[in-house]
Structure 1
Amino acid sequence: MQIRDLPYPDPGDPDVRSGPRFLLWLGRNQLGGQLRSMSWGLLHQCSIAGLSPAVGLAVQAVVDRSGTRLAWTGGLIAVLGALIALGDTMLHRTAITNWITAAARVQQLLARRTAELGSALTRRVAAGEVVAVSTGDVEKIGWFVEAVSRFAAAAAALVLICAGLLLYLPSLGLLVTVSVPLLALAVLPLLPRATKRADLQREKAGKATELASDTVAGLRVLRGIGGEELFLGRYRRASQEVREAAVHSARMWSLISAVQVLLPGVLLISLVVYGAVLARDGRIGVGQLVTVYSAATLMLFPLRHFEEIAMAYSFSRPSAQRAVRVLSLHRTAGPSTVDGAPTGALYDPATGLMAPAGLFTAVVCGDPDEAGRLAERLGGHAQTGSDPESGEGAAAQKAPSVLLGGVPLDELPLDSARTAVLVQDKDPVLLSGTLRELLDVPSSGRVTAEEALAAAQCGDVLDSLAQASPATDGDAMATRITERGRSLSGGQRQRLALARSLVTDPEALVLDEPTSAVDSHTEARVAAGIKALRQGRTTVAFASSPLLLDLADRVVLVHRGTVVAVGEHRELLDTEPRYRAVVTRETDDEIAALTTGCATGTIEEIEERA
């Protein structure tokens, strides 16, 4: 795979049993590139090693006053120089190719899993961690894949050099051959402690980054309550902890580097002293001593790759483990057995919730978390993502699938299911870009952007955007929206997100508290706009606002995971105490007093009859 051929048609099915297994799987899938890089690395290393006998021959030719041999040796050194340049250039090219293609493969795997899981992903893994894995961790994983080939070439070159020295000059070659493995393995006892310190540094850095992101996101609120200095102090302390951890980690890595310099230095000194004694006694020639010394000196270069591969593995192993945590999540849906998207009522067998086709159904839940989970179920997302280690999600796996027109969403192709049912979260995210780009989403084509914006009551938002960007000549659609819509108020973000959902015009639209961030006057107009624009389409809105509930065709009360009442808003206010408690925010004492005065029996009995 070359960079120009990216992206991969199919990034493959990764081994997610553990971080090291994932790295091994990644290396196997990069085998062709690894072999090419190793071949060029071997040419480079062996050409460098060839300089030692060439220099030794040149010195011996000078000692013997042989001009012919000196000229031939000069030519050999020139050829070796050309091979070194070629090998180094191609090694760098192929190694970087391995890095980029490996990183691209991991990013494609992460993107595929993110698209498959949808909103279920952030319930299992923090969004910041997903971003960290797809950026910094991917880079570290790519570094390890790139370093493997150079390490393999260096290890092969060391074996060849030691074997050559043993054959060329056994007396000194034996000393070098015995010492090299000791030099390579000397840092192994220090690696676990260095890895532990590096992991601690990354953990503290992640917490500091998270704190900084939260501070920036809530800066407007902090200024309102005067809390800037408090959070600034927290970030100062967190950053100092990161600095101390980084210094602590650097000390260990500097110790490893010192060992890599000290021990080879001891070897070279021992080699010079022993070789000088042999040369003085006439047991070896000066050229032979120079050859062995040069070879031992040049062996320090491939030895550096042992330190690099140790560092690369130490940093990439936890990164691979975090990537595995994301990639091991899966959508527990059965095989697709239905072609196309069905039409009809939306029904949840687990709760008994029925949203008839073509009607505006409002759902009232006393527990907001329960409402959020039920909204996700209606979109088919509750069947997505289970953690095999913790066992979470087992209940979602056993629960029956939501039905659309009598067809289980689990049996629909993923694209068809998401086209048929769209769920808008309580806190929708606006991506950066122009307003026109925000509303340019896959849709049925029946609803225009202007109609959706009007239904969501975005007139004042358009005016604000037009005034905020004079460069667009008053075109609000060309105005850029900042990351996550932070330049907008909560109500403006909510209405733009609602307009985006309305443009999509799915068969069934599920809205979780679509008007919670707007005032009552705007809320009434938004509710009327939704009902008018979605006429003849299935719409479900989770809400507790009387203004929205009064406009719904039917209202459903869900209590403790079960539908307990169905009717119109005013009817349920009169007949259902639990509904009235949620909508009017009455306390238990108020409910008891009202119930005692107007009905016989206890609240438990009334709930029993309901």
Structure 2
Amino acid sequence: MQIRDLPYSDPGDPDVRSGPRFLYWLGRNQLGGQVKALCWGLLHQLGIAGMPVGVGLAVQAVIDRSGSRLALAGGLIAILGIVLALGDTMLHRTAVTNWITAAARVQQLLARKTAELGSALTRRVAAGEVVAVSTGDVEKIGWFVEALSRFAAAAIALVGVCVWLAFYLPSLGLMVALAMPVLALAVLPLLPRATRRADEQREKAGKATELASDTVAGLRVLRGIGGEELFLGRYRRASQEVRGAAVRSARMWALISAVQVLLPGVLLISLVWYGATLARDGRIEVGQLVTVYSAVTLMLFPLRHFEEIAMAYSFSRPSAQRAVRVLSLRRSTREATVEGSAPSGDLYDPATGLMAPRGQFTAVVCGDPDQAGRLAERLGGHAETGEESEDGEAPATPPSVLLGGVALDELPLDAARAAVLVQDKDPVLLSGTLRELLDIPSSGLVTAEAALEAAQCGDVLSALAQASPDNGGDPMRTRITERGRSLSGGQRQRLALARSLVTDPEALVLDEPTSAVDSHTEARVAAGIAKLRRGRTTVAFASSPLLLDAADRVVLVHEGTVVAVGAHRDLLRTEPRYRAVVTRETDEEAAAAGAPYAVGEVPAMNSIQEIEERA
């Protein structure tokens, strides 16, 4: 795999049983690149290991006053220099390629998982953790994959040089061969503590990232309540904790580096002292001593790869574990088994008993807004897995939502998303022009103009036209800033609604689509939705009487179960729990009201103020 071939057409199905298994899976899927890097690394190490031989031959030739052998040694050193340069260049090229392709594979896997889970991702994993995985953790994982082949080449070179020295000069070679394993493994007792400190640093850094993300997201609210300094103080403390953890981690790695310098230094001093004694006694030649000394000196370079691979694994293992936590999430525990186009029919949730008949506008009232959000996601096919029991048994999975009698979990993801579209209560507007915002996959039956009109975006279009004089006053060419920051909350909500209406899915699920607009606009939006979606299945989670009155049928969900179904005004008269949610009725007011209203007692109520006055 070359960088020019990125992105992958299919990043594969990762092994998410554990962090180490995921790292092994990454390395196995880059076997070709790893073998290339290993070969170039061996060539590079061959150039390094051969240099002492050339230097030793040259020194001995000078001592023996042999010009031909000196020329031969010089030619050998020149060839080894070319080999060294070529191996080093190509090793770096292939290693960086392995790093980039591994990081790209992980990023593609994360992007695919994000698209699969949608907004349900941030309810299962903290937003700060997702950011940490997709940025810093990807780099650390790529580092380990890249360092793996270089470490393998260095290890093979060390073993080869030790074996050669043992045969070339047993008196010194055996000493080096016995010392090298000690030097390579001396840092192992220090690695667990270094790893724990590195994990602590990353954990604190992740919490600081989460805190910063939450602060930025809620900056407007913080300014409104004067809480900037409070959260700034919290972030300062979190940053200092990260700094302290980083210093403690750096101390351990500095100790490991010191050990990697001290022990080889002791070996070199011992080797020179003992070798000089042997040369003085005439038991070895000076050239042989120079050869062994040069070989041991250059062996310290590949020995550094043992420290690097230990650091890379210590940093990448928890990063891989975090990536596994995200990648192991599933849209559902069921596999897609239904092929073909998306079905049509009634939208039914067996878990709650909620039924949205085909072609009707169904409004759903929940006393708990969080429950409404979870139910809206379920209707879109984002099934929630249950919590693991105390005895460790597997979590129970609620039954899938059915569309036309077909389980959404059994549909391919693309078909399920095309069949049921869910707009949550906090929709996001991406940056770009209004035309780009509405240029999305759709049935083609609903024009952008019709959707904007139904969502009552006239004032939004006027504001956008005034904001873009360079575009001839065309609001469709006006650029919307990131997340729609230049618009009010109500304007953003209506543009998001228009975007959902343009899509024209088989079933449209809206979670509080009019919570940020005034009552007059809300009534017109409700009428616009009912008119534009006539003959299409629409479900709106709301508690506003204006929207409920525009629905064909209203469903009351209480404690996770459907308890009442009917028209808005009928439920006001006959269902106290419904009336308590819709009219914001307190317990004292409910007691004072007594029995439910009789038929005909409650007049038509078209605004919240009228309902509150009547209650």
Counterparts in 2 of 1:380 and 1:545: CA distance versus 1, 3 Å: same
Aligned pairs (5 A) from 1:49-198: 49-198=49-198
What's the CA shift for 1:468?
4.5
How many residues matched?
596
More deviation in 266-275 or 523-532? 523-532
| Helix, strand or coil at the partner of 1:564 | strand
Counterparts in 2 of 1:244 and 1:463: CA distance versus 1, 3 Å: farther
Counterparts in 2 of 1:103 and 1:235: CA distance versus 1, 3 Å: same
Counterparts in 2 of 1:471 and 1:222: CA distance versus 1, 3 Å: farther
Q: Does residue 568 of structure 1 match 2:567?
A: yes
What's the CA shift for 1:188?
0.9
Query: Corresponding residue for 1:558?
Result: 557
Q: Does residue 364 of structure 1 match 2:354?
A: no
What's the CA shift for 1:274?
1.0
The residue type paired with residue 418 of structure 1 is R
For residues 342 and 50 of structure 1, the distance between their equivalents in structure 2, rounded to whole angstroms, comes to 70
Q: Does residue 46 of structure 1 match 2:67?
A: no
More deviation in 243-252 or 286-295? 243-252
Query: Corresponding residue for 2:583?
Result: 584
Counterparts in 2 of 1:524 and 1:53: CA distance versus 1, 3 Å: same
Structure 2: gaps of 5 or more residues:
599-615
Aligned pairs (5 A) from 1:297-336: 297-330=297-330, 331-336=332-337
The residue type paired with residue 191 of structure 2 is L
More deviation in 446-455 or 420-429? 446-455
Q: Does residue 355 of structure 1 match 2:356?
A: yes
What's the CA shift for 1:147?
0.2
TM-align CA RMSD: 2.1
Q: Does residue 245 of structure 1 match 2:245?
A: yes
What's the CA shift for 1:556?
1.5
What's the CA shift for 1:80?
0.4
For residues 524 and 422 of structure 2, the distance between their equivalents in structure 1, rounded to whole angstroms, comes to 21
Counterparts in 2 of 1:389 and 1:580: CA distance versus 1, 3 Å: closer
Aligned pairs (5 A) from 1:184-583: 184-330=184-330, 331-382=332-383, 394-395=395-396, 397-399=397-399, 401-468=400-467, 472-583=471-582
For residues 344 and 139 of structure 2, the distance between their equivalents in structure 1, rounded to whole angstroms, comes to 45
The residue type paired with residue 53 of structure 1 is V
Deviations 1:425-450 (A, max 9, x none): 12222233333332222111111222
| Helix, strand or coil at the partner of 1:299 | helix
What's the CA shift for 1:393?
8.8
Aligned pairs (5 A) from 1:24-35: 24-35=24-35
More deviation in 148-157 or 443-452? 443-452
The residue type paired with residue 530 of structure 1 is I
What's the CA shift for 1:338?
4.7
For residues 101 and 504 of structure 1, the distance between their equivalents in structure 2, rounded to whole angstroms, comes to 35
What's the CA shift for 1:472?
4.6
The residue type paired with residue 535 of structure 1 is R
The residue type paired with residue 525 of structure 1 is R
| Helix, strand or coil at the partner of 2:364 | strand
Deviations 1:175-197 (A, max 9, x none): 11111111111111111111111
What's the CA shift for 1:526?
1.6
CA contact (8 A) 2:127 2:210 kept: no
For residues 597 and 94 of structure 1, the distance between their equivalents in structure 2, rounded to whole angstroms, comes to 77
| Helix, strand or coil at the partner of 1:428 | coil
What's the CA shift for 1:583?
0.5
More deviation in 96-105 or 489-498? 489-498
For residues 205 and 492 of structure 1, the distance between their equivalents in structure 2, rounded to whole angstroms, comes to 36
For residues 431 and 386 of structure 2, the distance between their equivalents in structure 1, rounded to whole angstroms, comes to 31
| Helix, strand or coil at the partner of 1:526 | helix
| Helix, strand or coil at the partner of 1:294 | helix
What's the CA shift for 1:68?
1.2
CA contact (8 A) 1:338 1:412 kept: yes
For residues 574 and 127 of structure 2, the distance between their equivalents in structure 1, rounded to whole angstroms, comes to 43
The residue type paired with residue 415 of structure 1 is D
CA contact (8 A) 1:119 1:381 kept: no
CA contact (8 A) 1:332 1:386 kept: no
For residues 7 and 279 of structure 1, the distance between their equivalents in structure 2, rounded to whole angstroms, comes to 60
Query: Corresponding residue for 1:605?
Result: none
For residues 37 and 597 of structure 1, the distance between their equivalents in structure 2, rounded to whole angstroms, comes to 79
Counterparts in 2 of 1:313 and 1:54: CA distance versus 1, 3 Å: same
TM-score by length of 2: 0.92
Deviations 1:353-376 (A, max 9, x none): 222222211111112122122212
Query: Corresponding residue for 1:15?
Result: 15
CA contact (8 A) 1:329 1:386 kept: no
Counterparts in 2 of 1:4 and 1:482: CA distance versus 1, 3 Å: same
What's the CA shift for 1:470?
5.4
CA contact (8 A) 2:385 2:395 kept: no
Deviations 1:221-249 (A, max 9, x none): 22222222222222222212211111111
CA contact (8 A) 1:386 1:392 kept: no
CA contact (8 A) 1:45 1:154 kept: yes
Deviations 1:326-383 (A, max 9, x none): 122222234323521222222223323222222211111112122122212221212x
More deviation in 589-598 or 354-363? 589-598
For residues 119 and 333 of structure 2, the distance between their equivalents in structure 1, rounded to whole angstroms, comes to 14
The residue type paired with residue 588 of structure 1 is D
Deviations 1:516-554 (A, max 9, x none): 122222212221221122122111101000111111122
Counterparts in 2 of 1:579 and 1:464: CA distance versus 1, 3 Å: same
For residues 521 and 172 of structure 1, the distance between their equivalents in structure 2, rounded to whole angstroms, comes to 94
Counterparts in 2 of 1:560 and 1:443: CA distance versus 1, 3 Å: same
For residues 318 and 472 of structure 1, the distance between their equivalents in structure 2, rounded to whole angstroms, comes to 51
CA contact (8 A) 1:120 1:385 kept: no
What's the CA shift for 1:502?
0.9
CA contact (8 A) 2:128 2:213 kept: no
Query: Corresponding residue for 2:607?
Result: none
For residues 487 and 596 of structure 1, the distance between their equivalents in structure 2, rounded to whole angstroms, comes to 49
Counterparts in 2 of 1:467 and 1:21: CA distance versus 1, 3 Å: same
| Helix, strand or coil at the partner of 1:550 | helix
For residues 557 and 393 of structure 1, the distance between their equivalents in structure 2, rounded to whole angstroms, comes to 31
Counterparts in 2 of 1:227 and 1:598: CA distance versus 1, 3 Å: closer
More deviation in 474-483 or 216-225? 474-483
More deviation in 70-79 or 12-21? 12-21
The residue type paired with residue 290 of structure 1 is V
CA contact (8 A) 2:57 2:287 kept: yes
| Helix, strand or coil at the partner of 2:184 | helix
For residues 462 and 436 of structure 1, the distance between their equivalents in structure 2, rounded to whole angstroms, comes to 12
What's the CA shift for 1:198?
1.2
